[in-house]
Amino acid sequence: MSISREDIEKVAVLARIRVDEAQISALESDLGNILNLVDELSAADTANIEPLSHPLDAVQRLRTDEVTETNQREAFQAIAPATEDGLYLVPRVIE
């Protein structure tokens, strides 16, 4: 199966990865090859087969709703690109 330029542009938007014009041709070929590889799946007979999402078929473990972690805001924000007054800074969203 091939993948079109438009598909790649759309997926790049969804994945929030900037892709420039020069990269698209290479991606068309690389992603097309990968999709060809995975197209083998379509030939497999999977009628009445339950999908497997976890090798041990485990379910989400629950715990009691209580505080188990201490607040480490300073430690976490010390490694952030930009903070101010305990908040993470990003470019202005609302004028």
Partner 1 sequence: MHNKSVAELSRELESGKISSVELTREFLDRIKAEDKLYNSFITVTEDQALADAKTADEQRAAGKASVWTGVPFAHKDIFCTNGVATTAGSKMLANFVPPYDATVTANFRAAGAVCLGKTNMDEFAMGSSNESSFFGSVTNPWGLSSGDKRVPGGSSGGSAAAIAARLVPAATATDTGGSIRQPAALCGITGLKPTYGRVSRYGMIAFASSLDQGGTMARTAEDNALMLNVMAGFDPKDSTSVDRAVPDYTATLNEPLKGLRVGLPKEYFSDQLSPAMEQQVRNAVKEYEKLGATVKEVSLPHAKLAIAAYYVIAPAEASANLSRFDGVRYGYRCENPQDLNDLYTRTRAEGFGDEVKRRILVGTYALSAGYFDAYYLKAQKVRRLIQQDFINAFKEVDVLMSPVSPSPAFVQGANTNDPVTMYLEDIFTIAVNLAGVPAMSVPAGFVDGLPVGLQIIGNYFEEARLLNAAHQFQQVTDWHQKLPQ
Q: Interface with partner 1 by CB under 8 A: which residues? A: 3, 7-8, 10-12, 14-19, 27, 30-31, 33-42, 44, 46, 49-56, 58, 60-61, 63, 72, 75-76, 78-82, 88, 90-93
Residues 9, 31 contacting (CB under 8 angstroms):
no
The H or E element that residue 87 is part of is strand 87-88
Q: Report the nearest approach of partner 1 to the CB of residue 62 (Å).
A: 10
In the complex with partner 1, which residue's Cβ is closer, 67 or 90? Answer: 90
Angle at 46 between CA 42 and CA 50, to 5 degrees: 130
Q: Report the nearest approach of partner 1 to the CB of residue 67 (Å).
A: 14
Per DSSP (E only), the strands in 1-95 are: 83-84, 87-88
